[in-house]
Amino acid sequence: MHSALVARLDNLVERFEEVTGLMADPEVIGDQERFQRLAREYGRLEALVKNVGAFRAVEKALEEARTLADGNDPELAEMARDELVELQARHAELDAEIARQLLPEDPSDEGDVYLEIRAGAGGDEAAIFAGDLFRMYGRFAESQSWEVEVLSASEGEHGGYRELISRVSGSGVYSWLKFESGAHRVQRVPATETQGRVHTSAATVVVMPVVPAAEVPEINPGDLRVDTFRASGAGGQHVNKTDSAIRITHLPSGTVVECQDERSQHKNRARAMDLLAAKLADEARRKQAETTAASRKALVGTGDRSDRIRTYNFPQGRVTDHRINLTVHQLERVLDGDLAQVVVPLRQADEAAQLEALAQDGS
């Protein structure tokens, strides 16, 4: 473990002891607001401090086992070598767990998201690919017991979607999907291709956390233009093709949102306003991300739609994520919803980058 992280752990252990003492102070107990704030901090630190104690106990046991393994007593040395294997495994397990606990929490991780998929270059094939991506995310959501609700959709002439906006709800949705924003590229022979040539098409994906009601930014009604229109295309089986669909334009930023899934114009407007809040918050988040370390931006990307993040190559049956040079030769399984084999390495790489940043900040 990096020395800077060790020093950080020492500080957190000291803080835990300080908080423990404060919570026993009658003056603090009498101040309910302060007591509750300290109780929340205590809860966050308790598991970490417990693991730190176990980690240090294992380190001490390792030192003793190594001494015995190098000793002159053959029987004790053999027992110590057997114990070393178990201790080293436990040491690595605790090291990884403590590292995860040191990472700053992303308050959006446990929340729902808006998922936008748009066909890019490639005409009809791009729209079909956008449909494939939506099916992939839908299958993955099903495996996680999430719910997917289509808010707006514009179908392609030969299948798929020119544009689709959905809300994905469930436990930990953003933590799983937050690295999906960017340009996705497919290389395959389209069904309409008579010469058997491989074509390259693209679609863009944008994943935005749903903004909690208590955190929705105040939006000046005078900054909005609201249009009603008749829903077109299949925005899901419950679309009611009346003039209840809503389009809202945020004039200062030029941001446009639509919702056409509900039969009620009032409900569509409410959903469109929620989506607008998410878009504006996402834009602010992206601007803030531009100030982060270059190495971190290179890993997770800026979330910009022009960032090419992944290629799905049908002739070679592979999926390549360009941010971490990951290649998986199970394209059909990935497109059928087995997305974890791509997302988990991304999450691990991001955690490693965050830990490296923590170590550098503390050094």
Q: Supply the CATH number for residue 247's domain.
A: 3.30.70.1660
Say if 362 falls within a structural domain.
Answer: no
Q: Among 122, 104, 2, which residue's Cα sits nearest to residue 44?
A: 104
Give long-range contacts, CB 8 A cutoff, 24+ apart: 352-358.
353/295, 353/296, 353/299, 353/300, 354/103, 354/104, 354/296, 355/2, 355/5, 355/99, 355/102, 355/103, 356/295, 357/293, 357/295, 357/296, 358/4, 358/5, 358/8, 358/102, 358/103
* 212, 249: one domain: yes
Domain assignment of residue 361, yes or no: no
Q: Same domain, yes or no, for 147 and 242?
A: yes
Q: Is there a domain that residue 95 lies in?
A: yes
For the chain, the domain total comes to: 2
**One domain, residues 313 and 188:** yes
140 and 209 assigned to the same domain: yes
Indicate if 214 and 315 belong to the same structural domain: yes
Query: What residue has token string 């209840």?
Result: 244
Largest CA distance in the chain: 88
196 located within any domain: yes
Q: In angstroms, rounded to a whole number, what is the distance separating the alpha carbons of residues 151 and 146?
A: 16
Chosen domain end from 56, 72, 102:
102
Lookup: tokens for 18: 């300080």
**360 domain residue, yes or no:** no
DSSP string, 91-135: HHHHHHHHHHHHSPP-TTTTS-EEEEEEE-TTHHHHHHHHHHHHH
What distance in Å separates the CA atoms of residue 342 and residue 309, rounded to the nearest whole number?
12
CA dist 309 and 298 (Å) reads 11
End residue of a domain, out of 83, 102, 121:
102
| Whether residue 93 sits in one domain with residue 117 | no
Same domain, 94 and 121: no
Q: Does residue 317 form part of some domain? A: yes
Q: Does one domain contain both 155 and 251?
A: yes
Q: Do 224 and 282 sit in the same domain of this protein?
A: yes
Token pair belonging to 7:
């020093």
- Domain span at residue 347 reads 113-351
Residue-level pLDDT at 185: 95
Closest C-alpha among 338, 292, 341 to residue 143: 338
Closest CA to 123 of 99, 158, 95: 158
Is residue 77 in a domain? yes
pLDDT score at 294? 45
Whether residue 108 lies inside any domain: the answer is: no
Sheet holding 113-119, edge to edge: 147-155, 161-169, 113-119, 199-209, 182-188, 308-313, 318-321, 326-328
In this structure, the answer to whether residues 37 and 161 fall within a common structural domain is no
Alpha helices in the chain (DSSP H): 3-23, 26-29, 32-69, 74-102, 123-143, 173-177, 265-289, 294-300, 331-335, 340-362
Q: At what angle do helices 3-23 and 340-362 cross, to 10 degrees?
A: 80
CATH number, domain containing residue 85: 1.20.58
Q: Is the dihedral of CA 120, 176, 97, 100 positive or negative?
A: positive
| pLDDT tens, per residue, the chain with 363 residues | 666 678 778 888 999 999 999 999 999 999 988 998 899 889 889 989 999 999 999 999 999 999 999 888 888 889 999 899 999 999 999 988 888 788 777 778 888 999 999 999 888 899 999 999 999 999 999 999 999 999 888 898 888 999 999 999 999 999 999 999 999 999 999 877 777 789 999 999 999 998 877 677 778 888 889 888 776 554 444 444 456 788 889 998 888 888 876 667 778 888 888 888 888 888 777 776 665 444 344 444 444 445 789 999 999 999 999 999 999 999 999 999 999 999 999 988 888 888 777 766 654
Q: What is the pTM of this model?
A: 0.70
Query: Do both 65 and 127 map to the same domain?
Result: no
Is residue 209 within 8 Å of residue 186, measured between CB atoms? no
Cα–Cα distances (Å) from 275 to 46, 207, 219, 349, in that order, read 37, 11, 12, 30
CA distance 8 to 361: 11
Structure tokens, 221: 């009604």
Last residue of a domain, one of 46, 80, 102: 102
Same domain, 237 and 306: yes
